[in-house]
Amino acid sequence: MAKAKTVFFCQNCGAQSPKWVGKCMSCGEWNSYVEEVIESSEKNAKIWTDKETKGVPNKPVKIHEVKTEKSERMGTHDIELDRVLGGGIVAGSLVLVGGEPGIGKSTLFLQMALMMNDRKILYVSGEESPQQIKMRAERMAPLSSDNCFLLAETSVSQIFQQVRQVQPDVLIVDSIQTLYSSKVDSSAGSVSQVRECTGELLQFAKSTDVPVFLIGHITKEGTIAGPKVLEHMVDTVLQFEGDRHLSYRILRTIKNRFGSTSEIGIYEMLGNGMRQVTNPSEILISNKDNELSGVTIGASIEGNRPLLIETQALVSTSAYGTPQRSTTGYDAKRLNMLLAVLEKRGGLRLGNQDVFLNIAGGLKIDDPALDLSICVAVVSSHEEQIVSSDVCFAGEVGLGGEVRAVNRIENRISEAEKLGFSAIYVSAVNKKSLEPAKYKIKIHFVSNIVEVFKSLATLD
């Protein structure tokens, strides 16, 4: 009997080493290497094979001789999911979906399986029994499908046997950390098992043109559990985000070989499943009975979708020697830069003030067009002056206090006009490419933040 071969894997990046090392040479993490046993015999080297699959000879060909066929994407009947995937499911694609436990990953993709009643779906669960899945499906009434097949299995070889019988159009695996392959002598969920199982599913997807969805867990740091190489193996990586104490969920694209990586889909978690939010601007702007200081509306763009987002700032005198700078959903370093600009160019004294910033709705935004909205919110809270809720802002703020132009300003203005805003502040540079006469909303062109503050004072 051959001696078992052991290899040490880094749990953070997936690098391997023949011996244990304290610090990973690839990612620099300490104490991240774990030992795992691997069998590399030829009899266990078989992975997915299908005699009926149309094979392509593995030989070099000239690029102009490669034949390509334009295949239509497979619709999921879910507008938000189709948008995030780039227009639908691509044949033979491998999609990895990550999210915190209880965020709604299984609910979302079971709902997708039931909505795609014109396709044969095989839903493989390694965590729940078919009875548990059926109980969840009954809550999604009136959704039902005769083409949704359930399988409770964790062995990859057994899954492939059932796949040959069912011949599904889409395969959903929940979750990749529960699968195991007999070729690897280690427990399910280990680095080698996750990578091996993903490799077999990848070859299955590419050889049969059946799209595969892999649902995965995330670590305490918020990254998908397993080696980082797992994200390089798949075609698309989706992140399902949201506060479990709130009802709204965000499906964000991290990687997409077939579409944009800046798209987001927004859902509302209800008792009967996930409701698609087609107009997120309405939910991101709270309806308040009384207007408050420190609250402004910024016009942002996520992918191809314009969003009007409520930015909330609170400025108060520091009770201790060192003032706090705290942000939720926004880059803390960029906030510090904007505060420095307000002190230097705007004349505000914020050195002894605590500043707290929150992006409403649980979103994480890195669009520089929110700079102007954040600056006005900070000044509004500091001076206790209320900014009208009918006014929104779209502009990047530079270190000199100038308001810089942002891209796709027409989409931002049209979204603000559609939601009933009376005025919007944009950079004066945008005046060259805009025709204010065709908009009903009043457009204020400003060159620097001082002009914005003076104009708002005259509005009040």
| Binding-site residue set | 99-106
Q: How many Å apart are CA 55 and CA 281, to the nearest integer?
A: 48
Q: Which H or E element spans position 112?
A: helix 105-115
Task: Provide the 3-class DSSP secondary structure of residue 446.
Answer: strand
Alpha-helical regions (H) of 319-362:
332-344
Token pair belonging to 138? 């009954």
Q: How far apart are the first and last CA of the chain?
A: 86
How many helices and strands (H and E) does the chain possess?
A: 11, 21
Per the CB < 8 A criterion, the answer to whether 38 and 184 are in contact is: yes
Q: What does the radius of gyration of the chain's CA atoms come to, in whole angstroms?
A: 26
Residues making up the annotated binding site for ATP are 99-106
Strand order in the sheet with 423-427: 325-328, 353-359, 305-317, 295-302, 391-394, 423-427, 442-446
Q: How many Å apart are CA 272 and CA 139, to the nearest integer?
A: 5
Residue 384 is given by DSSP the state T
Q: How many Å apart are CA 167 and CA 15, to the nearest integer?
A: 36
Q: Which residues contact 150 (CB under 8 A, 6 or more apart)?
A: 123, 125, 130, 133, 134
Q: How many Å apart are CA 21 and CA 30, to the nearest integer?
A: 9
